[in-house]
Structure 1
Amino acid sequence: MSTSTPLLEGAQPYSSMKGKLQDRLLQGLEGMGYQFMTPVQQKVLTELPTFQSDCLVQAKTGTGKTIGFLLPTLNSLLTSSGLPKGQVAILILSPTRELALQIAKECDSVTAQLQPRLECHTAYGGTSKERDLKKFLDGNPKIVVATPGRLNDYLSDSYVAEKFANIRTLILDEADTMLEAGFLNSINDILRRLPPKSAGWQGMCFSATMPKKIVDVLPKVLKPGYTTLTTIDPNETPTIDAVTQHSLIIPTVADTYTNLYALLLQEYELSPQNFKVIVFGTTANNVALMHSVFSVLFENKAQVFQLQSRLSQNIRTRTTNEYKAAQAGIMFASDVIGRGMDFPNVSLVIQVGLPSNGEQYVHRVGRTARAGNEGRAVIILTQRESYFLKANKQLPITPYPYQLSNVAVNVASEVSTAFANVDPTVKSKAYQAWLGFHKVYTKQLQLNNESLVELANEHAFSMGCPEPPMIDKQIVGKMGLRGTPGLNVGHVERTSHGRRGGGQGGGAPKQRDHSVDKNGMNGGGARRGGGGGRGGRGRGRGGISKR
């Protein structure tokens, strides 16, 4: 985050660290336009006993933590005895590849004035493992920023693990998010494959909250007597409370896209020049669908982006950079950016459908109102989904103040025309993903299998599908929906490149109706546009790429 002006009274300039931080690092900060420390940076740089001390730092996302942990660790590396070539000194673990890239970019900027330069490498899935591993092994990677799953994959190779034999510092960034995301086993495996804590490496944990899982892992990363620093005032109004939050309740799922369009038009008219919006969907395929539709609807109004897990890493990186630089635009996104990512000047966050819990809702809202800016948030829920508001009464959510029902009716033909331009395969994948997501919530939604399928088919018809898209009978079985009336069940043949296709999905799966459910819709012969499952996930075995 920018620190060209003091954020708080008493903020110290980086120049006050002259003699404590290497001059070349201070020059790097100056080149980035950073003059004053944020509170978390100031605490770490002035209150840590030494730059090699173990510490637990509690601070909100978007407060400058990255610079806060880079400066002391880089300074320690520059002032200590040299490491053998090819040995990693600083290892930073991040929950998402987008955040890993953001950290690596900051590292490259901070070290830009060093001669010779320090190599910062990243480790995450979605790129060529063989190519990137060769760069890593041939290079001199002093800093590695990694996601747990991919790094664990690399450390399982003893030859690669040897490159971490002289590690000086291990940093867990967004530690609570990593552990909530189910990385605990991967982190434990990583710690077993690194030199033991008794070898003397420094541990640093940065986290916004302190769930029990973090407490359990701390002794493996931090030695007894570690320093605890916090910039969170227990009496401070939470950032989310400063965001104006509304709910828009719609009758049923069939009304989703007309109401979302009406909402976006209303918000666009309020502030067309500062219209920078993130729209969260429930699944990656749902995000791909919304992106396809609204790229047509907003073709002459605003730039439309998407970020979701089924896109290739190159596309995700390019899109992240483009949206950060954009003055305005609409980003349709899954939770790959739900936390940790910092997009400047986001004026509005919209959530379409159920968040998995109240905490996910809060983290999504946190993409706006950053760095002291104001922000707004709207969640769109069906009548059935509105139980979420009652279950999370502590959230300051009020009804959306504008009447949109008439607008939604008036734009229905535009939405229908836009859907006619969407690839049937995109619709089919979104339909299947909708079923899979909501199957988990049937109890809360007071649905049985039959009524769930009825709603899914309403969703399909609202997308302009002439009949429910076909789903492979094996997938129907895995969903626990075998024999449910209304499903269009058949056999989906995959093309040779369907599984590995990039972007929104590689080759469209071929579908043959061999065993249509006797209670369901009649599929009719071979046709395109079916359930497809995981086609186009773009899952390379990729890994470490030199920055």
Structure 2
Amino acid sequence: MAHSLVSLTRAARSARSALASASLAHRSLWLAHRSLNIARGPVSCRSLSYTSRVSDPTQAQARAHAAEGEDTGMVDEHPVTFEQLRPQLGEALYKALTVKPFKLTKPSPVQHEVFNLLPEVAQLYDKNSNVKRDLLVKAKTGTGKTIGFLVPAILNRLAAIEAVEKAADGPANAAHKVKQYVRSTVGTLVISPTRELATQIAVESQKLCSHTELETRLFTGGTARGMQLRDFQRGRRDIVVATPGRLLDLLTAEPDVAQSFKNLNVLVLDEADTLLEMGFRDDIESVIRFLPPSPQRQTFMFSATLSKAIQQIARAALSPEHHYIDVVPAADHSPVHAHIPQYVTVLESADQQIAHVMRLIAHDQLANPGKSKIILFCQTTKQTQLFSTMIRELKTNASPAGRNTYIYEIHSGKGQTQRDRASSSFRADYSGASILVTSDVSARGVDYPGVTRVIQVGIPAGPEQYIHRVGRTGRAGASGRGDIVLLPFESKWIGNCLNDVPIKSLSAEQLEKETLELAAEHDADPRSFFPASNVKTKPRMAFQRDAPREPIRSYQTPVKRVVESAVGEVERLCEQLDEEAISQTHVALLGFYGSRVDELRVPRRDILDGLNDWAVSGLGLPNPPHISDAMLAKVGFAERGPKPSRGGHRKSFGGETRSSYGLKRSQTRSEREWDDKPRDFRRGGDGERKFGRGREDGERSFRPRDFRREGRDGEERRPRSPFGRNRREA
């Protein structure tokens, strides 16, 4: 009897898609007939189409390519809905996914593949069972991977708690045992490469657990270690999301933390390829030593690529008997979404760079009226700071949305709290005219909904980073666009590093022509330019104090004049730039390019000359920045020509406090903009002028220490993390 029930259950799962439109009577008859076939031989359509018994991912790929023309499971003719998956998900997860807070109707392709393996991949470890529980998943970014691995992990934790409850003697003892278990044993560990991605995963986990008692803890750098440890020790330990560095620090230094991971059920390595690219391989191997061995420990690995290094980690971390899922179409060799149009502009001279970037911003605001949301990637922290300042100064007279364009800034020079606040504000920004200027801390994994365009200034750190950056737009099947702007000495990089990427050439003149055409279309009938569907207001959350109250509904008129004024506005801005800030950015870029000469395939002297031209003709310096021979040798440019005259034009950072990085103290338009914006603590008690340029970037202005709230120990009181204290205690 038990065997028959198991057969019927398996049959129902394998045939679920085919039965989506069948009547209840026919469904019962079909299941009964199918159970007889399964009794003759345990063959599952799912095992043929979606997964295979894999010990080496390379073998799986070879078999997949050899089977070209057969059903690979990439496209399901009968896509399932969450309603059909309701028995496997349980009421709590079903409600979270379909009602509140996610309000989804059907799973994404990667979620479909994983959920089709339920309940096997959510089962607890049984040494007498041959069920394959580990997963190696290859999927592009922005495909819903987070929910894909969190759902089986949560189901596993709920099953573990139920097992503890059943093993207890009586209800009273059961409650005590469960409380002791959830406060002493970690259920799931998710390792993420960056703080921003870890925070995003933790937020998703909280949402999924909103109809359960499960809680999420967050271990990342940039926040108080003691606070994270205290909250971990006081609350439940159901799900822990961590970055490798902070996690390894706690495991090695805190015996209580190490003890709680000894009976871990599920390990998730998210963005595994990025973890390796960032040099975390040794840390991951060290962390695994603190965990139960495989197959007692269940492991999920998610990666956009499947390099040899990933295969080595897979062999070390996964059980030899694991499921391999590939939701990247066989014909799509590029990890970048094929539906994202991508363009490269190689500038004829460096003096076109800033104006071209402003035209790209104007083009996006005109092409996506009421919906424009741009991420602009820079190469270094100094460059990010400088471009943030320049765009803030230029937006009023060189962008269609003018002052209503909101600028956010994220880079390693900002504290973690500031970065989190800016990231959250940009994510929730529906103004229709927002720009995030960022370094590569936002390149991978972090999900910003509604991004219409990614702009890259200069070459990225490598082709993989280019792919990850472009992946910030066009997520979940939405439309998007990618643009990369290169200086003349960078022209060979595209051909050397992006041969497989469908990228088109776009000249500066062609972009200007297209932008002027859009501007003329707007000026002909400004009222009808904004579709009604794009002006629906969005409710503001409590933390969105600096976000606009409603989406933008109109642009400056005439827009054509705004677009045409870009060059003149850039020339006027260059007169306001501080030469010391340009020099610092120049040195930082030399260090960036010094390690990428082989990719550029140009002499080092050409790179140095190109950056000197960028500083002089592009940003208005009278002479190239002076760099000592020792500094040139340090950044990989030992060869040196005649030293340029420094003249008397350089300014010093000392003596004057600038309101924004890269601007001279004597500025006019910027001061007027200041007076139009809300700000905090413009002047301290001593009359000294403080930083704080409005709060359009979602961040509080700088406050002197005298105005900060202090804790009992005399130190600055830090904001509480939502992933710390027990919700019921809070």
| 1:417 alignment partner in structure 2 | 572
**AA paired with 2:198?**
A
User: Are residues 146 and 425 of structure 1, via their aligned partners in 2, closer, same or farther at CA, if it must alter by over 3 Å?
Assistant: farther
Q: Deviations over 1:136-190 (max 9, x none)?
A: 2333222111111221222221413223122111001111221122211111111
Q: Following the alignment from structure 1 to structure 2, what is the Cα–Cα distance between the partners of residues 488 and 67?
A: 59
Letter in 1 for 2:473: T
- CA deviations 1:76-101 (Å, max 9, x no partner) are 11121242524322100111111111
Q: Which amino acid aligns with 2:238?
A: K
Select 1:60's aligned residue among 140, 148, 152. 140
1:261 corresponds to which residue?
358
Aligned counterparts, 1:306-385, within 5 A = 306-327=409-430, 328=432, 329-385=434-490
Q: What is the alpha-carbon distance in structure 2 between the residues aligned to residue 290 and residue 465 of structure 1?
A: 16
Q: Distance in 1 between matches of 2:473 and 2:395?
A: 22
* Corresponding position: 1:119 with 2:119: no
Alignment of 1:187-202 (within 5 A): 187-197=284-294, 200-202=296-298
Q: Does 1:394 align with 2:500?
A: yes
Which residue pairs with 2:243 in the alignment?
A: 147
Please say if 1:17 is aligned against 2:104: no
Give the counterpart letter for 2:204 in structure 1: E
Question: What secondary structure does 1:361 align onto?
Answer: helix
The answer to whether the 8 Å contact 1:92/1:171 transfers is yes
Contact kept, 8 Å, 2:146 with 2:204, in 1: the verdict is: yes
- Determine the structure 2 residue equivalent to 1:433: 588
Assess, with a 3 A threshold, how the Cα gap between structure 1 residues 38 and 428 changes in structure 2: closer, same or farther: same
Q: Which residue number in structure 2 is paired with residue 285 of structure 1? A: 382
Match of 1:104 in 2: 202
Alignment of 1:38-77 (within 5 A): 38-48=108-118, 49-52=120-123, 53-77=133-157
Confirm or deny: 8 A CA contact 2:493 2:600 kept in the other structure.
no
1:403 paired with 2:510, answer yes
Partner of residue 459 from structure 1, selected from 601, 614, 619? 614
* CA displacement 1:84-143 (0-9 Å, x = unmatched): 5243221001111111111100110111112xx322111121112223222223332221
- For 1:290 and 1:450, the matched residues in 2 are separated by 25
Q: Match of 1:73, as an amino acid?
A: A
Q: Does 1:173 pair with 2:264?
A: no
Q: Percent identity?
A: 33
Q: Is the 8 A contact 1:55 1:229 kept in 2?
A: yes
Residue aligned with 2:289, SS: helix
Distance 1:195 1:412, change over 3 A: same
CA distance in 1, matches of 2:88, 2:636: 62
- CA-to-aligned-CA distance 1:312-348 (integer Å, 9 cap, x gap): 1112212222222223312212222222122222221
Deviation of 1:65 (Å): 1.1
**Is residue 453–residue 487 contact of structure 1 (8 Å, CA) maintained in 2?**
no
1:434-457 per-residue CA deviation (whole Å, 9 max, x = no partner) reads 111122234555655555444333
Between the aligned partners of 2:627 and 2:303, the Cα distance in structure 1 is 42
- Conserved in 1, the CA contact under 8 Å of 2:81 and 2:105? yes
Counterparts of 1:241-252 in structure 2, within 5 Å, are: 241-252=338-349
Unmatched runs of 5 consecutive residues or more in structure 2: 1-74, 124-132, 165-177, 397-402, 517-562, 647-651, 655-659, 663-701, 703-717, 724-730
1 CA distance for matches of 2:626 and 2:246? 34
Closer/same/farther in 2, CA of residues 65 and 441 from structure 1, 3 Å limit: closer
Work out the CA distance in 2 between the residues paired with 1:419 and 1:12: 57
Select the structure with the greater relative contact order (CA < 8 A; seq sep ≥ 6).
1
Mapping of residues 151-230 of structure 1, within 5 Å: 151-159=247-255, 160-197=257-294, 200-230=296-326
Change (3 A) 1:423 1:317: farther
* Cα distance between partner residues in 2 of 1:298 and 1:418: 11
Deviations 1:291-311 (A, max 9, x none): 111011114252122222222
User: In structure 1, the residue corresponding to 2:450 is in which secondary structure?
Assistant: coil
For the residues of structure 1 that align with 2:593 and 2:281, how far apart are their CA atoms? 26
After TM superposition, the structure 1 stretch with the greater mean CA deviation from structure 2, 104-113 or 159-168, is 159-168
Q: Following the alignment from structure 1 to structure 2, what is the Cα–Cα distance between the partners of residues 423 and 254?
A: 17
- The whole-number CA distance in structure 2 between the counterparts of 1:338 and 1:488 is 39
Instruction: Quote how far apart the aligned CAs of 1:488 are.
Output: 9.1
| Equivalent residue letter for 1:253 | A
Report if the CA contact (8 A) 1:62-1:342 is conserved.
yes
**Residues 327-381 of structure 1: CA deviation (Å, up to 9, x unaligned):** 3312212222222122222221211111233332222222222222222222111
- The 1:464/1:51 distance shift into structure 2, 3 A limit, reads same
Stretch moving more, 405-414 or 47-56: 405-414
Amino acid at match of 1:51: A
Whether the aligned pair in 1 keeps the contact of 2:262 and 2:290 (CA below 8 Å) is no
How far 1:269 moved relative to its partner? Answer: 3.3
Change (3 A) 1:486 1:451: farther
Quote the offset at 1:383 in angstroms: 2.2
Write the distance in 2 (CA, Å) between the matches of 1:466 and 1:86. Answer: 65
Partner in structure 2 of residue 31 of structure 1:
100
Please give the alpha-carbon distance, in whole angstroms, between the structure 2 residues aligned to 1:134 and 1:146: 16
CA spacing shift, 1:219–1:399, aligned 2, 3 Å: closer
Secondary structure at 2:337 match in 1: helix
CA distance in 2, matches of 1:453, 1:227: 50
Supply the distance in 2 between the matched residues of 1:149 and 1:90 (Cα, whole angstroms).
18
Relative to 1, partners in 2 of residues 1:232 and 1:215: Cα closer, same or farther, differing over 3 Å?
A: same
2: CA distance, partners of 1:345 / 1:57: 25
**1:214–1:237 CA distance, 2 compared to 1 (3 A):** closer
Q: Is the 8 A contact 1:136 1:546 kept in 2?
A: no
The letter for the 2-side match of 1:479 is V
Task: Single out whichever of 64-73 and 230-239 deviates more from structure 2.
Answer: 230-239
Deviation at 1:58, TM superposition (A): 1.9
Q: Rg larger in 1 or in 2?
A: 2
Rounded to whole Å, the distance in 2 between the matches of 1:112 and 1:453 is: 55
Between the aligned partners of 1:305 and 1:322, the Cα distance in structure 2 is: 8
* RMSD, aligned α-carbons: 3.2
CA distance in 2, matches of 1:164, 1:10: 41
- TM-score between both structures, scaled by the size of structure 1: 0.81
